[in-house]
Amino acid sequence: MKQDAPADADRTARRFAERARELPGDDTTPAFAAVEPTTRADPYGAFATSFVSPESFDGPLSDLSVAVKDNVAVRGVAHGVGTASLAVEADRDATVVERIRASGADLVGTTRMDPFALGVTGESGDGGRTVNPAAVDAIPGGSSAGSAAAVAGGLVDAALGTDTAGSVRVPASFCGAVGVKPTFGRVPRTGVVDLAPTLDHVGVVGQDVETAARLLDRVSGRDPLFPSDAAAEPTAAGDELESSVDRLRIGVPESFAEAAARPVRAVFESALTALAGRDGVTVERLSFPEHGDAGFVNQLHTVSEFAAMLDGAGQPLSGGRTKLVQAVFAAGLDGADAPDRVRELAATGRALNEAEPGAYSDAWAARRRLVRRVEACFDRVDVLVTPTTPTTAPDVGAVGPDADHDVGDLFANTAPFNCTGNPAVSVPCGDSAGRPVGVQVVAPTGADEEALRAAREVESVVADGAV
């Protein structure tokens, strides 16, 4: 039972709040000028806002056009975070946006998303569904639907998304792009609207592994504005891709492969056969009994942490409480045109936090077991390889409680690695009935470069026509 605070605690709290209001604010001049709105061709409904930067720079990414998901702050842009009603103008760029702009890339827009990033289909965002460029009758996947569609449709070279249960890798797989979820904490989230802070990753979608690696190298590394990132080092994946693979021990968690529909598994097994035929590559089948519970563990963490942030309790965990982040959670669902499913999941999270607080602790215990299982796998192999999603992109309208596919089925193979924080890359590996199939490569924590090198091997066997 919640106890009333003593009177002296209330007085002390008021003094703290009064003193906090008197503190000088962050008066640092923004690094870059605000972007300016423009219009662009958008045949897939990929963009939330299109813009141009009044400044241009020479840098390592000057040859790339880049977009960022609408929950990533861009100064001068009104962000809806997937809704039509929130329109919160960001007063400064997110750290990752500052890095993109400093690298010389052409930052062209924010991309559409499922509201609050709480979705996996790409159908429920502001303005309706985003179109899958690879299969127009199929969903693009979500919640980073616009980022994947913009890349797959050739509107940009690369884009940033966020990934809580697979929201970068799932749409990348469905649309036929490369999707990277880095090691947890390796890319800063300052200025990014979180969904579940202990699961969230800022990730990259690219037209190929090299492009994704180049962007990841520029946005990764510690953020001096967020002390918990102090140990994060930038990746050097672009350089590592040039080195040859002398030995690659691939582990295949059988439960992930068995979860895949027969056509997807056929493509996956063909890729494994092609990889096993390369010098220095071995393939070993592994047991992974925790697979079946991992998606549920991820969901419980997500709804609990999302509800806590809506109620103000999750502020210390969130990735940098910038104006955008503060305003989104201050408005909450009462100020947004959120779909019924988002409201229901938020209500479930509140009920869990209030009436069943032990469930969150139980999920953490299961999550620690999942981490130990992954670590045990890496005692035997260098990377894990799985189908990214159990199916190819379902038809529009075919995902939901009363439809052909359950929401949880789409992220069954991706969500476990948000729980563990390992780097994971989805790379296109052929198609089934004209719809892309993705293969997921997972590496030990901190070994993002190894994950991308192995993904490049998959990419090369596809290019060689071996799949």
Can you list the positions of beta strands (E) in 175-334? 178-181, 201-206, 248-253, 281-286
User: Which amino acid, residue 437?
Assistant: V
Positive/negative CA dihedral, 131, 137, 141, 142: positive
One-letter amino acid at 88 equals V
Helix axes 448-463, 209-219, angle to 10 degrees: 160
From CA 172, how far away is CA 34, in angstroms rounded? 29
Q: Which one from 167, 173, 304, 426 is the annotated catalytic residue? A: 167
Strands (E), 86-209: 88-89, 106-111, 158-163, 178-181, 201-206
Q: How many residues does the chain have?
A: 467
Which segments of 153-200 does DSSP mark as H helices, in order? Answer: 169-175
Supply 423's token pair. 């780097």
Instruction: Give the tokens for residue 275.
Output: 């990889």
330 vs 353: CA distance, rounded Å = 19
Rounded Cα–Cα distance for residues 20 and 421 (Å):
34
Which amino acid would we find at residue 77? V
**Catalytic: 143?**
yes
Closest CA to 450 of 459, 458, 441: 441
**Cβ pair 74, 149 in contact under 8 A:** no
Q: Which residues pair with 47 in a beta bridge?
A: 111
Whole-angstrom distance, CA of residue 263 vs CA of residue 390? 10
> Distances from the Cα of 207 to the Cαs of 153, 155, 164, 274, in angstroms?
9, 10, 22, 22
Return the amino acid letter for 327: A
Separation of CA 330 from chain center? 23
- The C-alpha atoms of residue 102 and residue 30 are separated, in whole angstroms, by 12
Q: Among 50, 65, 124, 143, which one carries the catalytic annotation?
A: 143
- Residue from 79, 114, 147, 49 nearest 338 by CA: 114
Active site residue 69: yes
Catalytic entry in 50, 53, 69, 426: 69
Task: List the Cα angle 439/440/446 in 5-degree steps.
Answer: 155
Q: How many CA atoms lie within 13 A of 432 on its CB side?
A: 23
Query: Does residue 309 sit in helix, strand or coil?
Result: helix
Nearest to 48, CA basis, from 94, 91, 83, 93: 83
Q: Let me know if 53 is a catalytic residue.
A: no
Identity of the amino acid at 60: P
Active site residues: 69, 143, 167
